[in-house]
């Protein structure tokens, strides 16, 4: 069995895709809005100042559009997967560029090499992050995912909504 098909992982991936589609739709409704999301097996959290009614409309629209085949909505340019991919590749390249240095002077002399390696890794990681999202961390196919309810709450000055799903 493919690990991505395990129940818990599949639910996270489908919720992650719905979260991204929802954020995309909300950002088109209100371009200046600043939001973040976090997916888990039972749904996802939306962090930011958004009206519950607007969120409800965006989640329903997102689910409908994903079900109609707009799977591209599951891939988001500001996903943590993109940032992790870039950071991981840049870190590995920096480590490789510095590996084997015997003293500080030799390591300092490698700085142009390290900068070049990190720059190359950042260039190649830009298209790689969305591919990893599409193939591994999200799913644009809801496959029976349903919205159960949306629960607004706050933590200090932070406004959040818990979007609870089933399926």
pLDDT at 14: 98
Residue with tokens 């991204």: 20
pLDDT at 94: 95
pLDDT at 106: 85
pLDDT at 103: 82
Can you read off the two tokens belonging to residue 8? 């818990």
The overall longest dimension of the chain from CA atoms, in Å, is 61
Per-10-residue mean pLDDT for the chain, 167 residues long? Answer: 92 98 96 95 97 97 98 96 96 92 83 95 94 97 97 96 97
DSSP per residue over 113-159, as a string?
HHHHHHHHHHHHHHHHHHHHIIIII--S--TT-EEEEEEEEEETTEE
Task: Give residues with Cβ within 8 angstroms of 136, minimum separation 6.
Answer: 4, 13, 81
Helix pair 80-98, 111-132: axis angle to 10 deg = 150
| Domain boundaries 3-78+138-166, CATH class | alpha beta
pLDDT at 105: 86
Residue ranges of domains in the chain = 3-78+138-166, 80-134
pTM over 0.85: yes
Q: Are 70 and 17 in contact (CB under 8 A)?
A: no
């Amino acid at each position: 069995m493919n690990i991505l098909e395990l129940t818990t992982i599949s639910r996270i991936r489908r919720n992650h895709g719905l979260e991204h589609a929802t954020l995309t739709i909300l950002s088109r409704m209100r371009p200046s809005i600043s939001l973040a999301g976090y997916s888990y097996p039972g749904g996802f959290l939306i962090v930011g100042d958004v009206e519950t009614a607007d969120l409800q409309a965006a989640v329903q629209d997102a689910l409908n559009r994903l079900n109609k085949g707009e799977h591209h909505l599951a891939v988001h340019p500001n996903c943590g997967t993109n940032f992790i991919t870039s950071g991981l590749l840049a870190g590995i390249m920096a480590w490789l560029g510095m590996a084997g240095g015997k003293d500080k002077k030799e390591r300092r002399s490698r700085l142009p090499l390290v900068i070049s390696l990190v720059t190359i890794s950042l260039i190649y990681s830009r298209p790689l992050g969305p591919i990893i999202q599409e193939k591994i961390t999200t799913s644009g196919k809801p496959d029976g995912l349903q919205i159960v309810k949306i629960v607004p709450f706050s933590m200090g000055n932070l406004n959040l909504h818990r979007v609870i799903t089933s399926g």
